[in-house]
């Protein structure tokens, strides 16, 4: 029995962090958002900010979500002030997004996406995949197993063919 337990421990330690219980974010609506809740579904994660020139991409994120949500796509907006372009509080961010974009996909509280205080998900992206957001509205696509399929910078619109051609094969027909 001891050998079996040791074997399980070794296997568990060898798994990537996201496979060992997943990453959790604080939801802007209260409670937690667990990436593992979407295991089996592709997830597009975008770091966002309310006062950025790319903020209109919220419309594209919502359009993408509307287009593919019935086939399983999840869009997650990670509000961040790491580039100094987010509102001062979570309630201001939520009110801004509700009033201007009527978003219905999940969104996190204001979260660090780079540097020593970065959320563990973003630390994992940096260390395991060499990806750190260079600005707001950088996007990361995870497949149904939580593995990174693609990353894009701010200039890539969420509805662009570069992104949708990576999403479509991940969705059931």
Which residues are known catalytic residues?
52
Any idea which fold 22-170 has?
A: Glutaredoxin (3.40.30)
Q: Is the pLDDT of residue 173 over 90?
A: no
Q: What is the pLDDT of residue 5?
A: 45
Q: Residue 53 in contact with residue 155, Cβ under 8 Å?
A: no
Q: What is the pLDDT of residue 13?
A: 39
Q: Residue 78 in contact with residue 48, Cβ under 8 Å?
A: yes
pTM of the model: 0.88
In whole angstroms, how far apart are CA 25 and each of 13, 29, 33, 164? 22, 11, 5, 25
pLDDT in tens, 31-60: 999 999 999 999 999 999 999 999 999 999
How do beta strands 32-34 and 74-79 pair?
unpaired
What is the mean pLDDT of the segment spanning 118-131?
Answer: 96
Q: What is the pLDDT of residue 37?
A: 95
């Amino acid at each position: 029995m001891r050998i079996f337990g040791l074997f399980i421990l070794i296997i568990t330690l060898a798994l990537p962090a996201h496979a060992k219980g997943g990453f959790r974010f604080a939801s802007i609506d209260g409670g937690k958002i667990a990436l593992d809740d979407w295991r089996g579904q592709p997830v597009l994660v975008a770091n966002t900010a309310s006062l950025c020139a790319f903020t209109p991409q919220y419309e594209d994120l919502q359009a993408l979500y509307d287009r593919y949500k019935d086939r399983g796509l999840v869009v997650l907006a990670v509000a961040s002030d790491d580039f100094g372009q987010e509102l001062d509080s979570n309630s201001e961010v939520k009110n801004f997004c509700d009033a201007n974009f009527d978003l219905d996909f999940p969104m996190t509280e204001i979260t660090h996406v780079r540097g020593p205080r970065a959320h563990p998900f973003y630390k994992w992206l940096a260390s395991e995949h060499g990806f750190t957001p260079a600005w707001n509205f950088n996007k990361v696509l995870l497949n149904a197993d939580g593995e990174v399929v693609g990353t894009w910078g701010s200039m890539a619109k969420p509805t662009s063919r570069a992104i949708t051609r990576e999403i479509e094969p991940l969705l059931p027909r």
